[in-house]
């Protein structure tokens, strides 16, 4: 067994491989979505990695041709041509830096036992000495489940005879979902979907291999009824068909995601038999067209939190009509299936070590604990981290300023390296962290209009301190500025998260020292500069050095639910294990919130 | 444990009770529908029984008042005031002789554990310290069944709050079917339906007591597509929407039956939560809109035979929309749920003694065996016993001649004692048996045109021997006659049944001597004159003295499925235990058939 340390874009993780295994295959198995358009034929050169240490074979003639002498000398090799012979350290090539890693923080080894399976069988032909009915012939015995799918029973007599009694059975556990004529057992797909308040992320998975084939993201179209869940719940209560409207908006977009992924991969929707969903409790209620009315006000009661399996037709999802939708379980009104999914995929529920999981979206869900105990709370950070309520705030889209430095004048980067059109959450955090760093903001959050530069390079910073809409502000570029109000918004948001962390630490009796790992999840958590997050006090400074980003851990939980029945059953256990700490009735929370408002 | 011998209207059976138990309650538990309008308060006097032997306590003051001195002296007591202290023998009072005993032939003691139950509970009110979701609050835990009813989940938040968290849960086993606000646990009904090729019989049952409230019969409207199943299957194959048509005809009539019973008893459809169905396999396929195409020709393969539970909405049955329909299991294409129901209700599957069950409808299903083995076959008797293909044949309706005697001239009775309009099956059997008896027909079945009366009383018989449509015939009354062709039809029909019996006896290795009980089931079986059936050779003469009618044993099986989950599970066992003997490939059957054609 060899250890492969994989380095990429500021991230690093390990995978384990056996002598002689192909590197590309191992990276794919570890869900590293490395580019390989030629599918391992050694012709495209996109799967190259830099071997930083360990076995470095001479380059093959082909590698020399595809990669060029310079790259070969620098230690680059094609991962498709590389067989593992020692512990190695590799750098994922920047050219393939779209290479997104599904579980970016922790590596989990999951046995492939998908939520739905396909099996090819040939049943005995009917005769006077074998008069078993068609349905029972297909399922190999009596029907013992709860309610049968009559449509399926109606189709079986023709399907079973179509290919001379050779059929493929699609099952969930022991329950028959569908029957296809002939051997179709090689084509079986699933979709995992994370329904966020702001964004919908979907993954297409090959359920015969567990491989991720494709990712697709869209904005949640419900945003026209408000950026936060409360506004949307209000809409469903104020409008007669509001809830139906919410459902159809999200279902349409789910179908759009699925359509886009099927087009990209050229697979047929009818070979998709399962969709798993995670999302906050309100989003799951809307998806199910279940009233979220009592989620909106104390004592915050959801309609349903159990894991639910539904026929996709019931939801109107366009995959195989015999397919199922599985909604992962939630804990409470504000600890949803997304948090359960994130706890699942980070594996903190099975570790001896104590971990802190922070999933920051519109709400910040925080989970603290280990295999023995899990405490969770949800802190209403508001949508500031997603760019809302910020003067020039936008989501993490092309043209969003996503990092700011004031170390040598005002410098920034944008997503896609294009002209800036606004600032996303990570940019705001970066900008304010930098303003604190250079003393432009004091510990109360006041933007100092009289701030004086100490170096020549800082001159343009001073020039950019202006008054906009009667508020102090720092212009970053053109019309784009960070205002005093933006700073206040961020103070509120970060105070909410930091206070939530403090309450959990206090109520669980766990000390900051006991916490060994801090996982930052969610789109925001993935891209945030960890130093900036510490600088503004979003994360208590005691946790410095323990923090890592884990990407869309919730979405990864949905994928796990798709590829592993064991993970689904763990999700159920997790949902019951988590002790929910209600912050709205917590005096501690208010005290911490006020404390955490300051920058210090 | 004491033995209670209950005598009533020509029937007698035993129930077992424990010392001190209340007699009325025990009678109710044994499904004896005894009148008790005051519900056991001792005021109405309707539940009186005569204690024939055993413990006879002094009458209470109240009993003396309600029943009067005469009745008290005669041994009458109120069963609601009587506690069991010894073995007793009682006579059910004739005044309460509507007291119908559910199982008319054999008495079976069944524990009341209905297919659906209702339970009234008050759940904890939501609060910040009890934030359980509404659905999980109502079901008292997590949802663990297969697929939830989303409509139910959607309604629960309002229902649960409507009556201050007091709700009634409707369950099938542990599975939640419905929730009602407040305490409605006293009103829960079920319907049992026997879908025959010719007739639909439905029963309304109070599931809180097991009492039969009402019966309703209608003709199967599918008869417009043929009297036999083969013609109807052909229609579903020849016509595009033929199967849909068959289903909607039967569902409409089921709904008509239910409506009529609800009107008669003044109960609401929404308090009916379960319908059980028995019927031959083809009728069950039509009911379910499942293709019966492969039932129609060798090797006779049904689409489905398992017991199925469906949401009634799926079938379009107008009871509570959260209610269920349970289709009892079948054995094969021609041994349907009706036969399984009859085996269940006659209890032959649990007896040491060997019994023969003959259920004669369009097809004659015959079952032979005991608790160890059960053999069954289906013999195509054709519809002669139901009056079809008989010149003046009609069903068992008002005005049908149902018995004929030629002992002192031509005498007959009609159903409803009105002028005759035709002859039903029992009338034909009686008529031909009498014609044999007086020598008007010889053993080959030839009607002797030269027959001479031996007594004066028989003169009018001789006068009534005529030629109609070029056939010899005996006029019974006015235009109504039994023709030579009718005799041939009956010969075919009785030969089919008798040959089936002989095949089963031969193949099972059971001798006629071993058979201790013969149960005649079905409408025809109930009303037929047993001596006539023996006379024409419908039942082998070896079985004389062992024969009893058991009424609609199939329908009774449907009722048992409604009131007893244990019976439902027995039905499943029975359906697998029965060894189906296929007659179409049996040389024995052909030989016996030819033998049995003769009258001897």
Question: How many residue pairs from chains A and B have C-beta atoms closer than 8 A?
Answer: 163
Give how far B186 is from chain A: nearest CA, Å.
Answer: 26
Weakest-pLDDT range from B97-101, B213-217, B315-319, B494-498: B97-101
**Residues 223 through 262 of chain B touching chain A, CB cutoff 8 Å:** none
Of A156, A118, A119, A120, the C-alpha closest to A136 is A156
**B288 vs A134: CB contact, 8 Å cut-off?**
no
Whole-number Cα distances in Å, B588 to B441, B500, B506, B596? 27, 9, 9, 12
Question: pLDDT (tens digit, 9 = 90+) per residue, B73-123?
Answer: 989 999 989 999 999 999 876 533 222 223 343 446 778 899 999 999 999
Q: Tell me the average pLDDT across A417-441.
A: 93
ipTM, 2 decimals? 0.79
Closest CA to B501 of B353, B358, B338: B358
pLDDT average, residue stretch B319-334:
97
CA dist B166 and A218 (Å) reads 44
Instruction: With both helix axes pointing from N to C terminus, report the angle between A553-563 and A565-577 in degrees, rounded to the nearest 10.
Output: 130
Do B75 and B44 contact (CB within 8 A), yes or no? no
Which has more confidence, B456 or A319?
Answer: A319
Q: How far apart are CA B373 and CA B581, in angstroms?
A: 13
As a whole number, mean pLDDT of residues B11-30 equals 80
Both tokens of B569, joined, read 């599970």
**Maximum CA pair distance of chain A?**
99
**pLDDT above 70 (res A60):** yes
Name the residue with higher pLDDT: A360 or B285: B285
pLDDT number for residue B13: 75
Q: Does residue A348 register a pLDDT over 70? A: yes
- Of the segments A284-298, A350-364, B359-373, B377-391, which one has the largest average pLDDT value? A284-298
What's the CA gap between B430 and B534, in Å, rounded?
10
Confidence of residue A497 (pLDDT cuts 50, 70, 90): very high
Least confident range of A166-170, A309-313, B90-94: B90-94
Determine whether the interchain pair B142/A576 forms a contact, defined as Cβ–Cβ distance below 8 Å.
yes
- In this prediction, residue B36 has a pLDDT band, given cuts at 50, 70 and 90, of low
Q: Which residues pair with B426 in a beta bridge?
A: none
SS3 A442: coil
Q: Is A262 exposed, middle or buried (0-12, 13-18, 19+ CB in 10 A)?
A: buried
What whole-number distance in Å separates Cα of residue A46 and Cα of residue A67? 9
Listed ranges A517-531, B93-107, B495-509; the one with the highest mean pLDDT: B495-509
CB-based contact B246:B232 (threshold 8 Å): yes
Measured between beta carbons, the chain A residues lying within 8 angstroms of B286 are: none
A-chain residue closest to B572, CA distance: A142
Query: Does B157 score more than 50 pLDDT?
Result: yes
| Residue B127 sits at the chain A interface (C-beta within 8 Å) | yes
Q: State yes or no: cis peptide before A162, omega within 30 of 0.
A: no
Residues B307 and B327: beta-carbon distance below 8 Å: yes
**Interval A379-395 mean pLDDT:** 83
Helix (H) or strand (E) holding B233: helix B229-238
Give the pLDDT confidence of A66-109 residue by residue, as tens digits.
888 888 998 999 998 999 999 999 987 643 322 222 333 344 67
Question: Among all residues of chain B, which has the CA nearest to that of A312?
Answer: B147
* Pair B435, B483: CB distance under 8 Å: no
Taking the CA atoms of A106, A108, A114 and A115 in sequence, report the sign of the dihedral they define.
negative
A157 and B332 within 8 Å at the Cβ level: the answer is: no
Q: Over the stretch B344-402, which tens digit does the pLDDT of each residue have?
A: 999 999 999 999 999 987 788 999 999 999 999 999 887 788 777 899 998 777 888 99
User: Does A302 contact chain B (CB < 8 Å)?
Assistant: yes
Nearest to A145 among B132, B146, B154 (CB): B146
Instruction: Count the residues in chain B.
Output: 600
Share of chain B above pLDDT 70, in %: 94
pLDDT surpassing 70 at residue B4 = yes
Give contacts of A132 with chain B, Cβ < 8 Å: 301
Q: What is the pLDDT of residue B27?
A: 80
Could you give the CA distance from residue A518 to residue A508 in angstroms, rounded to a whole number? 16
Please give the pLDDT value at position A65.
84
Query: Mean of the per-residue pLDDT values for chain B?
Result: 90
What is the distance between the alpha carbons of residues B165 and B121, in angstroms, rounded to a whole number? 8
Does A576 reach chain B within 8 Å, measured CB to CB?
A: yes
**E strand spans, A260-410:** 272-279, 308-311, 324-327, 354-360, 364-369, 374-379, 400-405
CA separation for the pair B366, B45 (Å, rounded): 44
Chain A residues close to B291, C-beta within 8 Å: 154, 157-158
Rounded to an integer, the average pLDDT of B520-529 is: 82
Measured CA to CA, the distance from residue B377 to residue B108 in angstroms comes to 25
CA distance B574 to chain A (A): 13
CA distance B535 to A209: 73
Tell me whether B545 touches chain A (CB under 8 Å).
Answer: no
For A368-395, b/e burial (b = at least 16 CB within 10 A) is bbbeeebbbbbbbbbbbbbbbbbbbbbb
Answer for the pair A574, A328: CB distance below 8 angstroms, yes or no.
Answer: no
- If you average pLDDT over every residue of chain A, what do you get? 90
- The Cα–Cα gap between B473 and B400 comes to 19
- Number of Cβ within 10 Å of residue B194's Cβ equals 30
Average pLDDT of the segment spanning A1-11? 76
DSSP state of B32: B
Mean pLDDT of A387-394: 86
**Per-residue pLDDT at B228 exceeds 50:** yes
CB contact under 8 A, A291 and B157: yes
Backbone angles phi, psi at B26, to 5 degrees: -65, -40
Tell me which residues of chain B, numbers 457 to 476, contact chain A at a CB-CB cutoff of 8 Å: none
The tokens for B387 are: 């009056």
Closest-CA residue to A278 (of A11, A544, A562): A562
DSSP notation for B278-333: EE-HHHHHHHHT---GGGSSTT---S--S-EEEEHHHHT--S-TT-EEEEPP-SSS
B183 exposure class (CB count in 10 Å sphere: 0-12, 13-18, 19+): middle
pLDDT of residue A35: 64
Q: Are strands B422-423 and B400-405 parallel, antiparallel or unpaired?
A: parallel
- Label the pairing between strands B11-17 and B117-122: unpaired
| Angle, helix B281-288 to helix B242-265, in steps of 10 degrees | 90
Which phi-psi region, left, alpha or beta, contains residue A399 (left: φ > 0; alpha: ψ -120 to 50)? left
Residue B294 at interface with chain A, using a CB cutoff of 8 Å: yes
Cα–Cα nearest to A137, from B295, B117, B304, B152? B304
The C-alpha of B598 sits at a distance from chain A's nearest C-alpha, in angstroms, of 30
Q: Is A153 on the interface with B (CB under 8 A)?
A: yes
Higher pLDDT, A9 or B95: A9
A-chain residue closest to B133, CA distance: A302
List C-alpha distances in Å: B485 to A391, B392, B395, B400, B491.
98, 11, 18, 19, 10
| Average pLDDT score over residue span B482-511 | 95
- Confidence class for position B10, pLDDT limits 50, 70, 90: very low
**CA-angle at A214, arms to A210 and A216, nearest 5°:** 130
3-class state of residue B86 by DSSP: coil
Alpha-helical regions (H) of B347-458: 425-437
Q: What are phi and psi of B548, to 5 degrees?
A: -140, 155
Interface test with A, best of B160, B280, B297, B303 (most A CBs within 10 A): B303
Residue A294 contacts B, CB cutoff 8 Å:
yes
Q: Is the pLDDT of residue B270 over 90?
A: yes
Contact A181, A199 (CB under 8 A): no
Average confidence (pLDDT) over B553-562: 94
Check: CB of residue A189 under 8 Å from CB of residue A273.
Answer: yes
Is B290 in the A-facing interface, judged by CB distances under 8 Å?
yes
Distance CA B88, CA B85 (A): 9
Q: What is the mean pLDDT of residues A445-454?
A: 92
pTM over 0.90: no
Contacts of B509 (CB under 8 A, 6+ apart): none
A125 has a chain B CB within 8 A of its CB: no
Contact A310 B156 (CB under 8 A): no
Confidence of residue A474 (pLDDT cuts 50, 70, 90): very high
d(CA A182, CA A277): 30
* CB proximity A597 to B under 8 Å: no
- The pLDDT value recorded for residue A40 is 72
Question: Is A314 within 8 Å of B150 when comparing Cβ atoms?
Answer: yes
Interface probe for B, chosen from A115, A127, A131 (most Cβ of B below 10 Å), is: A131
Which residues of chain A make contact with B142, given a CB cutoff of 8 A?
306-307, 329, 572, 576
B136 vs A contacts (CB less than 8 Å): 304-306
Residue B33 confidence (pLDDT):
56
Contact (Cβ atoms closer than 8 angstroms) between residue B154 and residue A303:
yes
Query: Which residues lie below 8 Å from residue A98, measured CB to CB, with a gap of 6+?
Result: A33, A35
Question: What's the N-to-C CA distance of chain A in angstroms?
Answer: 47
| Nearest CA-CA partner of B203 in B195, B5, B212, A139 | B212
The verdict on B573 touching A (C-beta cutoff 8 Å) is: no
- Check CB contact under 8 Å for A288 and B153: yes
> Is A154 close to B128, i.e. CB distance below 8 A?
no
The minimal CB distance from A303 to the residues B130, B156, B333 is found for: B156
Q: In chain B, whose CA is at the least distance from the CA of A152? A: B290
Which among B124, B127, B131, B246 is the top mutation candidate for probing chain A, defined by the most A β-carbons within 10 Å of its own β-carbon?
Answer: B131
Window 7-46 of B, Cβ < 8 Å to A: none
Q: Which residue of B has its CA nearest to A576?
A: B142
**Could you tell me if A189 and A269 are in contact, meaning their C-beta atoms sit under 8 angstroms apart?**
no
Chain A nearest-CA distance from B239, in A, is: 17
Best CA proximity match to A304, nearest among B157, B144, B181: B157
Within 10 A of B482 (CB to CB), how many other CB atoms are there? Answer: 31
Facing A133 at nearest CB: one of B145, B147, B305: B305
């Amino acid at each position: 067994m060899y250890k492969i340390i994989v380095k990429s874009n500021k991230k690093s993780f390990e995978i384990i491989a056996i002598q002689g295994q192909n590197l590309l295959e191992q990276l794919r198995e570890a869900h590293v979505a490395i580019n390989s358009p030629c599918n391992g034929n050694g012709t495209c050169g996109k799967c190259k990695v830099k071997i930083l240490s360990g076995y470095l074979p001479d380059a093959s003639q082909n590698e020399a041709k595809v990669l060029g002498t310079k790259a070969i000398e620098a230690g680059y090799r094609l991962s498709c041509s590389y067989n593992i012979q020692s512990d190695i350290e590799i750098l994922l090539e920047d050219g393939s830096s779209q290479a997104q890693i599904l579980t970016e923080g922790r590596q989990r080894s999951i046995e492939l036992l998908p939520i739905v399976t396909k099996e090819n069988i040939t049943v005995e032909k009917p005769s006077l000495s074998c008069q078993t009915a068609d349905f029972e012939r297909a399922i190999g015995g009596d029907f013992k489940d709860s309610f049968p799918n009559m449509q399926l029973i109606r189709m079986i007599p023709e399907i079973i005879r179509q290919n001379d009694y050779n059929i493929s059975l699609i099952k969930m556990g022991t329950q028959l979902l569908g029957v296809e004529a002939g051997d179709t057992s090689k084509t079986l797909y699933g979709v995992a979907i994370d329904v966020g308040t702001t964004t919908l992320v979907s993954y297409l998975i090959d359920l015969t291999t567990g491989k991720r084939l494709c990712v697709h993201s869209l904005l949640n179209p419900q945003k026209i009824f408000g950026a936060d869940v409360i506004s949307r719940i209000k809409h469903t209560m104020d409008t007669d068909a509001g809830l139906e409207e919410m459902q159809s908006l999200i279902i349409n977009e789910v179908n759009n995601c699925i359509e886009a992924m099927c087009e990209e991969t050229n697979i047929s929707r009818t070979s998709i038999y399962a969709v798993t969903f995670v999302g906050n409790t309100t989003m799951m209620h809307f998806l199910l067209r279940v009233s979220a009315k009592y989620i909106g006000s104390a004592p915050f009661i959801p309609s349903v939190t159990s894991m639910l399996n539904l026929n996709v037709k019931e939801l109107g999802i366009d995959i195989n009509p015999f397919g199922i939708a599985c909604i992962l379980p939630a804990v409470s009104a504000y600890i949803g299936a997304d948090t359960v999914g994130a706890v699942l995929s980070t594996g903190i529920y099975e570790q001896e070590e104590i971990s802190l999981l922070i999933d920051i979206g519109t709400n910040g869900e925080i989970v603290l604990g280990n295999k023995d105990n899990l405490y969770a709370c949800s802190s209403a950070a508001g949508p500031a981290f997603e760019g809302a309520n910020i003067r020039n705030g936008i989501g993490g889209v092309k043209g969003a300023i996503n990092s700011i430095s004031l170390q040598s004048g005002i410098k920034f980067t944008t997503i896609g390296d294009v002209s800036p059109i606004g600032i996303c959450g990570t940019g705001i955090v970066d900008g304010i962290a930098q303003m604190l760093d250079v003393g432009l903001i004091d510990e109360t959050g006041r933007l100092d209009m009289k701030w004086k530069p100490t170096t020549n390079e800082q001159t343009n910073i001073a020039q950019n301190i202006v008054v906009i809409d009667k508020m102090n502000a720092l212009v970053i570029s053109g019309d784009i500025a960070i205002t005093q109000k933006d700073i206040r918004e961020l103070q509120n948001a970060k105070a909410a998260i930091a206070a939530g962390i403090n309450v959990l630490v206090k109520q669980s009796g766990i000390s900051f020292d006991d916490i060994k790992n801090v996982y930052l999840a969610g789109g925001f958590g993935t891209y945030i500069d960890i130093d900036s997050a510490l600088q503004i006090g979003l994360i208590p400074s005691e946790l410095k050095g323990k923090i890592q980003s884990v990407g869309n851990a919730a979405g990864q939980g949905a994928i796990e639910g798709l590829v592993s029945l064991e993970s689904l059953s763990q999700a159920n256990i997790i949902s019951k294990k988590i002790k929910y700490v209600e912050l709205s009735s917590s005096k501690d929370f208010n005290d911490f919130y006020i404390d955490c408002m300051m920058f210090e």
